[in-house]
């Protein structure tokens, strides 16, 4: 076995790191796990069976004391970390956890990346893939570590993986048979530095494709569209705004698949039959439909799956209508582009709850949309001062500051009247107050339901 008795350093002891440790132990490697958090802050590491020599938490170990043959990074670990940089300097292979997971896996892999829409698209493709009757696993950045899901898979299995820029940063031979790039807007610039570097990292999803593989690209995004000419794989474009003679697009209110060479156009589904709101979700649906077709489903089977799909938690999730006010949980809106799309999905008067930890983004363009769409803006978290200044610069009229998340929800409820939408779409990460956007979204739902006890209409 390739890693039998080899020394491997796993950096980051969260879910991905722990899954990587287990896979490496199964492969016979000598595994070292490190994290700057103390043991009392880490859940589950005690089940790994590592002794004190191999479980190095609470401080940064000396590189020379480990001398690893391979370094595996959890997604949240900065590549600027001294241990990582020393490994690179010494020409030690540095892999992301997804590279390790898929290194010897024979399953067909569908990979989804982009700034926004990844989770919705990944989940939808997973639901469609199950209709093939083949064993299907949905994992990756969606909250389930890939390394813990691949054992026992064969060449008839399907993996649908949500892939972040952090996970794609240190791939090596990772081959994505059906690779989707949904869109690119500024995000994670605190890590990647520039939009170009961020984009190039995302584009690595196509790096190891061959002529038999498929790339699915957003025609409406110029950066993404221009990739198509340089890829080794087949390319399928989609567009919710421009009719494509080759690809998936809109013809009036119908999503259609067109082939220029044969002059054919196949209706797939009417947009009015979809349960997902918002023009941006057409991108997700079109990309998913293209992937499902590549997996062998008929357009009729795809249409039925699209009709039944209701969306995912924390992404424009309808919490309920309480005393005539619709509450929507979009906690996964962790950047300005995602939050903008959530705002544009609703025509009703709106109270927006926003703020958290900024990722190096400017809020001025976002606040122009807020000015036109939102009647009351409730701000909280580390980015509140920065967001308030941008809001005032752009002429947002009603700005309310909250002392805590709980205070923010109560103030948003107080601002709303029947017929309004109260939307949690923070345009920031949750890391200043919560462990994850899921935790933030769950608290939002709990606080709303606790305030009203039970919905009048759901």
Structure-token pair, residue 288: 């998913």
pLDDT of residue 40: 87
7-92 belongs to which CATH class? Answer: alpha beta
Q: What's the pTM value of the predicted model, to 2 decimals? A: 0.80
Reported as a pLDDT band with limits 50, 70 and 90, residue 450 is: very high
Which one is the CATH code of 102-308: 3.40.1190.10, 2.60.120.260, 2.40.110.10, 3.90.180.10? 3.40.1190.10
pLDDT of residue 456: 46
**Hey, which residues does 235 pair with through a beta bridge?**
215
Q: Which residue has the tokens 């249409």?
A: 303
Neighbours of 439 (CB within 10 A): 14
Any residues with CB less than 8 A from the CB of 452 and at least 6 apart, and which? 322, 323
* Angle of CA points 184, 187, 192, to nearest 5°: 100
pLDDT of residue 312: 84
CATH, domain range 317-452: 3.90.190.20
State pLDDT tens for residues 128-140: 999 999 999 999 9
Structure-token pair, residue 286: 């079109």
Alpha-carbon gap, residue 60 to 440, rounded angstroms:
30
Q: Domains of the chain: which residue ranges?
A: 7-92, 102-308, 317-452
Instruction: Tell which residue, 392, 334, 394, 391, has the closest CA to residue 358.
Output: 334
Q: Do the Cβ atoms of 452 and 323 come closer than 8 Å?
A: yes
Sign of CA dihedral 137, 142, 144, 145: positive
Alpha-carbon gap, residue 116 to 125, rounded angstroms:
15
Crossing angle of the two packed helices 280-294 and 299-308, in degrees rounded to 10: 140
Phi, psi of 198 (to 5 degrees): -60, -45
Q: Which residue has the tokens 């209508």?
A: 321
pLDDT of residue 324: 95
Structure-token pair, residue 162: 């949500």
Segments of 307-393 assigned E as strands? 317-322, 325-329, 350-354, 376-379
Q: What percent of the chain has pLDDT over 70?
A: 97
Answer with the residue of higher pLDDT: 78 or 373: 373
State pLDDT tens for residues 383-429: 999 999 999 999 999 999 999 999 999 999 999 999 999 999 999 99
Q: Do the Cβ atoms of 149 and 81 come closer than 8 Å?
A: no
Alpha-carbon gap, residue 369 to 346, rounded angstroms:
12
pLDDT of residue 39: 87
Whether the pLDDT of residue 207 is over 50: the answer is yes
State pLDDT tens for residues 175-192: 999 999 999 986 655 665
**Range with the poorest average pLDDT among 207-216, 311-320, 354-363:** 311-320
Whether the pLDDT of residue 117 is over 70: the answer is yes
> Could you tell me what percentage of the chain is helix, strand and coil, using 3-state DSSP and rounding each to the nearest 5?
35, 20, 40
Alpha-carbon gap, residue 289 to 298, rounded angstroms:
10
pLDDT of residue 298: 97
Segments of 373-420 assigned E as strands? 376-379, 399-401
Rg from Cα positions in the chain:
23
Sign of CA dihedral 172, 81, 16, 91: positive
State pLDDT tens for residues 38-60: 888 888 999 999 999 999 998 88
């Amino acid at each position: 076995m390739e890693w039998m008795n080899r020394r491997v350093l796993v950096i980051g002891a969260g879910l991905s790191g722990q899954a990587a440790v287990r896979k490496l132990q199964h492969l016979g490697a000598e595994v070292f796990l490190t994290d700057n958090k103390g043991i009392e802050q880490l859940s589950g590491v005690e089940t790994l069976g590592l002794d004190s020599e191999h479980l190095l938490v609470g401080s940064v170990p000396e590189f020379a004391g480990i001398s690893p043959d391979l370094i595996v990074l959890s997604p949240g670990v900065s590549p600027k970390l001294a241990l990582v940089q020393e490994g690179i300097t010494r020409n030690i292979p540095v892999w992301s956890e997804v590279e390790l997971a898929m290194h010897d896996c024979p399953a067909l892999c569908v990979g989804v990346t982009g700034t926004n829409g990844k989770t919705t698209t990944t989940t939808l493709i997973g639901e469609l893939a199950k209709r093939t009757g083949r064993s299907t696993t949905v994992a990756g950045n969606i909250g389930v570590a890939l390394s813990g899901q691949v054992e026992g898979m064969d060449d008839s299995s399907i993996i649908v993986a949500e892939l972040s820029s952090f996970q794609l940063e240190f791939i090596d031979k990772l081959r994505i048979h059906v690779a989707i790039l949904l869109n690119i807007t500024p995000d994670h610039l605190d890590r990647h530095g520039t939009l170009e570097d961020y984009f190039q990292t995302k584009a690595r999803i196509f790096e190891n494709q061959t002529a038999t593989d498929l790339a699915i690209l957003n025609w409406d995004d110029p950066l993404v569209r221009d990739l198509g000419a340089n890829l080794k794989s087949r390319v399928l474009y989609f567009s919710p705004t421009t009719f494509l003679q080759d690809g998936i697009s809109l013809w009036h209110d119908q999503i259609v698949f067109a082939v220029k060479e044969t002059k054919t156009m196949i209706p797939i589904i009417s947009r009015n039959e979809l349960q997902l709101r918002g023009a941006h979700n057409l991108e997700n649906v079109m990309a998913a439909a293209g992937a499902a077709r590549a997996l062998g489903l008929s357009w009729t089977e795809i249409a039925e799956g699209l009709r039944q799909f209701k969306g995912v938690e924390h992404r424009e999730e309808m919490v309920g209508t309480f005393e005539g006010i619709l509450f929507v949980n979009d906690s996964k809106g962790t950047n300005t582009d995602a939050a903008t799309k959530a705002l544009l999905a609703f025509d009703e008067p709106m109270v927006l709850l926003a703020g958290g930890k900024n990722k190096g983004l400017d809020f001025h363009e976002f606040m122009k949309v807020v000015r036109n769409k939102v009647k009351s803006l409730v701000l909280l978290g580390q980015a509140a001062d920065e967001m308030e200044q941008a809001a005032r610069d752009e002429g947002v009229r009603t700005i309310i500051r909250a002392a805590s998340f709980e205070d923010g929800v109560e103030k948003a409820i107080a601002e709303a009247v029947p017929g309004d939408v109260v939307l949690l779409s923070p345009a920031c990460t949750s890391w200043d107050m919560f462990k994850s956007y899921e935790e933030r979204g769950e608290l939002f739902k709990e606080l709303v339901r606790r305030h009203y006890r039970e919905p009048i209409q759901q």
